[in-house]
Amino acid sequence: MAEFTGSLASYSARWSFFTYLGAIACGTGLLALPAARAPGQPPLSVIDAAFTATSACCVTGLTVRSTAEDFSPFGQGVILLLIQLGGLGIMTITTLLLFQMGGEATVRQRAVIAETLGIKSGRGIRKLALTVLLVVLASELVGFVLLSLATWGSREPLDVVWRAAFHSVSAFCNAGFSLGDDSLVAYDDNVAINLIICGLVIVGGLGFPVLFDIASRLRRREPLWERLHMHSKLMLLGTAVLLTFGAVSFWIIEWDGILVGRPLSTRVLLGLFHSTTCRTAGFNTVDYGTLSSATLFLTILLMAIGAGPGSTGGGFKVSTFMTLLVRAGASFRGQERANFAKRTIPEQAVERATATALIFGAIAVAALVALLVVENGRLAAERPRWFLDALFECISALGTVGLSTGITAALSVPGKSVLIILMLLGRLGPITVAVALSRQRPAYQPNYPEEEPLVG
């Protein structure tokens, strides 16, 4: 027992893993209680309760039972609590692990952390967790007030307040859970609600290093873009490019498809919301089962990229994608170094970005094969583009997105188990990688003569 607990203390990623497993287990038990289901609804099976608890705790949003119809207010409250713990907990735990708030960080580490987050000195690092908490609660409070005002009078006051609170937390945490069977389809032409949800999703997906960097520059009244750190510039530029690409491609491909007959303002709004929700948010204002194959494939790419490091979103991260893009551009021009915004990206960062993307892809491929095998002969015979639907579902789970073409509830127990594992891996991946890369004593590695393979 001592050896086991010692290993947990030595490897914080293991502690995080078991913490998440414990939260999911507690959530599963609570959701399986009779009090968690709405009157007249059938009881949840263990697999459905575990799936819902995992999806909420990992802020994914994939559902096998209706959040609005199958769960009582108590059950919905459990889901909301798991979302909040997952969204806030992942950031707090990541911050604690990355910045070693509980341990003795070296002077060099503290200097790097202070410079990255715009903190005056390393002593301010211990206040970081409290700052994260305050930012989360403040953002969700603003979203709650705005959503309440935007929907006031449409329902009973208590219902309006509850729905505003639920969707504000779900949106900022990029969870995608909604108190509507059709998500937000009923509000597809409501400008206020669409913009509020999009704002919460984008702010939650940028990541706290970016938010702290921007706040620091504004507080000091410094030139914003010139003084931002390179990571912030990569994130802001990458986010803007991906949002624009997602919206424009949706308009072009679906202009004569799902957008036919819609007013121009609604078409614009649908494209903007679609592009935003691909940032691992999981809400939808259109039926993804009716979208064209081209739109679904581009959505898969956007979901895989995801949001930013240290954020509530998943994926292999915008900064990873931008780092690889800058490195590819430099290689195409025959340059030895990857330069961006008058800074050089270290080769170690490029190597980490490459490894992250490759690991993400390898896990996705393995899960896709597993899902195709366990569901072979059942859903494959019912859906004409089953391969694309299965790939969409796997990337949505691994990227903790929550979008679906409608096959989640129809999956078998093994199929749901595959997605449960993917959601957990997608949420714990950043923590595990961060801890693995922060080791101060690398393992011994022999140095052999170099020999270059043929590439390309």
| Higher local confidence (pLDDT), 362 or 128 | 362
In a domain, 452, yes or no: no
What mean pLDDT do residues 159-182 have? 92
Which tokens sit at 114?
A: 């202070």
Q: pTM to 2 decimals?
A: 0.87
289 CB-near residues (< 8 Å, 6+ apart)? 405, 406
Q: Is the pLDDT of residue 428 over 80?
A: no
| Higher local confidence (pLDDT), 90 or 246 | 246
**pLDDT tens-digit profile of 370-425?**
999 998 877 777 778 889 999 999 999 999 999 999 899 889 999 999 999 999 88
How does the average pLDDT of the chain come out, rounded?
Answer: 84
Number of compact structural domains in the chain = 1
> In whole angstroms, what is the distance from residue 102 CA to residue 209 CA?
19
Residue 203: CA count within 13 A, CB half-sphere: 23
In a domain, 175, yes or no: yes
Q: Is the pLDDT of residue 441 over 80?
A: no
Q: How many CB atoms lie within 10 A of CB 22?
A: 11
What mean pLDDT do residues 42-49 have? 92
**pLDDT tens-digit profile of 290-307?**
999 999 999 999 999 988
Residue 28's pLDDT is 95
In a domain, 139, yes or no: yes
**pLDDT tens-digit profile of 317-361?**
999 999 999 999 998 988 888 899 888 999 888 988 898 889 899
In a domain, 447, yes or no: no
324 alpha carbon, distance to own chain's centre: 20
For the packed helices 73-99 and 128-151, what is the interaxial angle rounded to 10 degrees?
150
**pLDDT tens-digit profile of 91-104?**
555 455 555 444 54
Residue 455's pLDDT is 63
**pLDDT tens-digit profile of 228-243?**
889 999 999 999 999 9
What mean pLDDT do residues 162-188 have? 91
Kindly report the length of the chain: 456
Residue 293's pLDDT is 94
In a domain, 454, yes or no: no
In a domain, 442, yes or no: no
**pLDDT tens-digit profile of 13-26?**
566 677 788 889 99
In a domain, 179, yes or no: yes
**pLDDT tens-digit profile of 137-150?**
899 999 999 999 99
Going by DSSP bridges, is the β-strand pair 338-340/343-345 parallel, antiparallel, or unpaired? antiparallel
Classify residue 262 as exposed, middle or buried by CB count within 10 Å of its CB (0-12, 13-18, 19+): middle
Q: Is the pLDDT of residue 268 over 50?
A: yes
In a domain, 291, yes or no: yes
| Higher local confidence (pLDDT), 5 or 290 | 290
How would you write 166-207 as a 3-class SS string? HHHHHHHCCCCCCCCCCCCHHHCCCHHHHHHHHHHHHHHHHC
The residue range of the domain holding 389 is 9-437
